[in-house]
Chains A and B, each alone.
Chain A
Amino acid sequence: MRDRSTGHPRNAWYALAASAEVGSTPLGTRALGTPVVLYRAGDGSVVALGDRDAHRPYPLSLGHVDGDTIVSGYSGFAYDRTGACVRVPSQAQVPYGARVPSYPVVEEGDLVWVWLGEPSLAALRPPVSTPWLTDAGWDTFGGAWETAAGIGLLHDNFADITHVAVVDPVISPPALTGVAPALEVELTETTVHFHRDWPAAPLPEWQAKISGASTTASYPQREEGAFLAPGLWADRWDVFIPADEGGTQTFRFTHAVTPVDDHRTRHLWRVSRNFAPGAEASDVLRPIFESYYLKVREILETMQQVIDRDGYGEDVNVAADLAALQVRKILRRLVADEG
């Protein structure tokens, strides 16, 4: 049988930071085994360059931004947004061909997406639109951290939520405790959508409380997951409450996943909702979701340790893994296409 690791394509948009993190102070980060520095140029647009001075092995992120350029904190070499060295302190002549790599950048939603693969393909593969992250109709909070596990383990996790009830019975919607209804999966060349229609069940207590909905009434619920790109999942949970009882309550869960290297993944997560607006409700919800995602992180890190120690096994797959297997198939092909 083939290698169970799917790898990850380089030709994809990956989120390297939240928009709010990038300003006129350089931000050093890493993705796909590559050091990257992000900063905001004078016109407000984000610049992504290789985070290593061309003169000496010193990160540009330890330097400073000067207008549209970034200046090394050691050599004083200044680089423009294309990565070309435009000024050196020690001579009038700029060294011929001195440059650092520059990468295509797009800000979408409240995230900074960078293309670290073949640069010419960036324009041919538009990033996915995530309007709910910034739309006024949605209240959004989130977090970000690094998970010491390969991105494949995160994809597998997002492709099946039936484990939520096992991992965290307290936060799990009561609907999830029943037998899972049939999973419906919809495929395109590079995306996988799936959903399940759960039978009517009460809201979790915390959700009923912040939204003022009934804690006892049962409502039909729908779970949706969507692998939209190698670095982006957009999932949602709808509780169909009649309009005269307050209307449908929807959560959208956005997971931007970026391989730092083969064993570590940056996970930027966002929870958006169209009910119970305001900071007070967010303050109640944030620790609930944060503690769940931290539990998932711990589990995935343990899985990575098992793989590192004992290798990939012949995992037994069940019907619910259909979406995960389709995602792996897409990723394998995209990796193969890179030659």
Chain B
Amino acid sequence: MTTQPIVREFEADLKVVAAVEAATDVVTLTLAAEDGTALPPWTPGAHIDLVLGEDLVRQYSLCGSPADTGQYRVGVLRAPDSRGGSKAVHAELHEGATVRVRGPRNHFPLVASPRYLFIAGGIGITPMLPMIAEAEASGADWRLVYGGRSRSSMAFVDELAAYGDKVTLLPQDEAGFPDLDALLGSPAEGTLVYTCGPTGLLDAVEERCNASWPAGSLHLERFSAKAPTSDEQDSAFELVLQRSGLTLEVPADKSIFEVCREAGVSVVGSCLEGVCGTCETEVVEGDVEHRDSILNEEEKESNEFMMICVSRCRGESLTLDL
């Protein structure tokens, strides 16, 4: 008899109770359990997986209110370069349809602060909605700069109108790109920066924050994997799983995640490209070569956690709390 534990995330088939066009090419889905039971709780910045088909799993930020335990809301942009995910959502998830949901999980949590600067690009506005609702409720001093291609492509503008001049809308065709040098050129005391949106925006924000802001000021979430920074050849290493009492070999052409699965060790994973954070694992010993798009520099240096779907070991041996 095996006594190896099995771990998985919450999964349920939810019903699309509303599918509404929120802007050009953006649909918002409201999801609820068929029998109306409460859904797992979440906090601002959380996302869920929509399982859209075999090998077609996509992450979408929850953009409703955590106080509403009966339903989840997500906003989905029909991406022109879609690998199939957003296309399937727009084509198939009409009102009354059913979709497999996994999660929620959160690798973009809102840390308490007296001041926030939120910078959203396009559909990156979605995680910001519950964040600014919470910042507003707590009396924090906050500002949102929200850029998009054009006014008609920018979702949730009506909801944001209630916040008055705390929100700056920057449709690119009218106002150009956000002036990041003005926004981030000099660090603001006690301010946390939250950003989500296209890779170009995130890289630009990250570059400016890394240059002069205190460590830990910037919080960002990527929906697609960061471009690899090294083209080093992958090498094999020894993998010790402390709790399971197993020593395995990770060959150059396999990930830690794959090797664990093959050895019958239950590990959770979702995107398998270092974006969603599901497979985060505690590091006991060893020099990790981080290749994910989630951990910040500080977290990477601490060597406490790693994403076992993409990250590897620099040395000969790595010990994990598995």
Contacts and interface: CB of A to CB of B under 8 A. Distances in A.
Interface of A: 1-2, 118, 120-121, 123-126, 129, 179-191, 193, 229, 317-322, 325-326, 333, 336-339
A325 B305 CA distance: 13
A319 B243 contact: yes
B105 to A, nearest CB: 5
25 contacts: A118-B138, A120-B134, A120-B138, A121-B138, A126-B69, A179-B3, A183-B6, A184-B8, A185-B6, A186-B8, A186-B9, A188-B9, A188-B42, A189-B42, A189-B104, A189-B105, A319-B3, A320-B3, A325-B282, A326-B7, A336-B109, A337-B109, A337-B112, A338-B112, A339-B113
Given A188-B9, A189-B43, A125 B38 contact: no
Given A123-B137, A187-B7, A189-B106, A339 B42 contact: no
B212 interface: no
Contacts of A180: 3
Contacts of B4: 182, 319
Nearest to A191: B40
Interface in B120-158: 133-134, 137-139
Given A189-B46, A319-B3, A338-B111, 20 more contacts: A2-B304, A118-B138, A179-B3, A180-B3, A184-B8, A185-B5, A187-B8, A187-B105, A188-B40, A188-B41, A189-B41, A189-B42, A189-B104, A189-B105, A191-B10, A193-B10, A229-B41, A319-B244, A320-B3, A320-B5
A179 B109 CA distance: 39
A314 B242 CA distance: 12
Contacts of B2: 182
B203 interface: no
Interface in B258-281: 268
A185 B113 CA distance: 33
B5 A182 contact: yes
Given A121-B138, A337-B111, A339-B111, A186 B5 contact: no
Nearest to A194: B5
Contacts of B5: 182-185, 319-320, 322
A184 B109 contact: no
Which 5 residue pairs of A and B lie closest in terms of their CB atoms, listed nearest first? Answer: A188-B40, A339-B112, A120-B137, A183-B5, A185-B7
A182 B265 CA distance: 12
B82 to A, nearest CB: 26
Contacts of A125: 41, 43, 66-67
A50 to B, nearest CB: 20
Contacts of A318: 243
Nearest to A185: B7
A121 B66 CA distance: 10
B63 interface: no
Nearest to A187: B9
Nearest to B40: A188
Given A182-B3, A320-B5, A121 B137 contact: yes
Contacts, number: 117
Nearest to B106: A189
Given A186-B8, A317-B243, A319-B243, A181 B104 contact: no
B66 A124 contact: yes
Interface in B233-269: 242-244, 268
Contacts of B321: 317, 325
B98 interface: no
B110 interface: yes
B103 interface: yes
Contacts of B8: 184-187
Nearest to B7: A185
Contacts of B139: 120
A338 B113 CA distance: 8
Nearest to B242: A317
A222 to B, nearest CB: 15
B226 to A, nearest CB: 22
A319 B242 CA distance: 10
Nearest to B139: A120
Nearest to A193: B10
Contacts of A339: 111-113
B65 interface: yes
A337 B3 contact: no
A338 B112 CA distance: 5
Contacts of A2: 304
Contacts of A317: 242-243, 321
A188 B42 CA distance: 8
Interface in B58-85: 65-67, 69
Contacts of A191: 10, 40-41
Contacts of A121: 134, 137-138
